[in-house]
Copies of this chain bind each other. A is one copy, B any other.
Amino acid sequence: MKQPNSTRKPGSHLIRGRFAAPTSTDMQTFSSSLAVDLRMLDEDIDGSIAHATMLGQVGIVTAEEAQTLCAGLETVRQEIHDGTWAPTDAHEDVHMAVEERLTEVVGEVGKKIHTARSRNDQVATDVRLWLKRRLIELDVALTELVSVLLDRIESDGRTLMPGYTHLQRGQPILLGHHLLAHLWALERDRDRLVEALARVEKSPLGACAMAGTPHPIDRSISAELLGFRGLVENAMDAVAARDHEQEVVAACAICMTHLSRIAEELVLWSSVEFNFVRLGDDYATGSSIMPQKRNPDAAELVRGKSARVYGDLMTLLSLVKALPMAYNRDLQEDREPLFDAVDTTMASINITAGMWRTLTISRDRFEADLVGDFSLATELADLLAERGVPFREAHEVVASIVRWCEEQGSGLEALTPSVAREFHPSFPEDLGPWLDPRTAAERRTSRGGTAWLEIQRQVAILEGNVGRGFDL
Contacts and interface: CB of A to CB of B under 8 A. Distances in A.
A240 B162 CA distance: 16
A101 interface: no
A208 B289 contact: yes
A232 interface: yes
Contacts of A348: 30
A321 B307 CA distance: 8
A16 B396 CA distance: 9
A320 B281 contact: no
B446 A219 contact: yes
A312 interface: yes
29 contacts: A19-B286, A21-B280, A23-B282, A27-B283, A31-B301, A99-B392, A111-B393, A164-B324, A166-B297, A166-B327, A166-B328, A168-B294, A173-B211, A173-B236, A184-B232, A185-B241, A211-B450, A212-B445, A213-B382, A214-B386, A216-B446, A232-B448, A233-B458, A243-B258, A261-B322, A264-B323, A291-B378, A292-B399, A307-B319
A295 B422 contact: no
Interface residues of A, number: 207
A82 interface: no
B171 A210 contact: yes
A257 B26 CA distance: 21
Nearest to A446: B212
A1 B14 CA distance: 67
A264 B324 contact: yes
A326 interface: yes
B290 A171 contact: yes
Given A213-B382, A268-B324, A318-B317, A400 B166 contact: no
Report the 6 A-B pairs with minimum CB-CB distance, sorted nearest first.
Answer: A212-B449, A304-B330, A311-B315, A111-B390, A292-B374, A4-B400
Interface stretch (A40-48, A130-138, A270-278): A270-278
B326 A165 contact: yes
A158 interface: no
A350 interface: yes
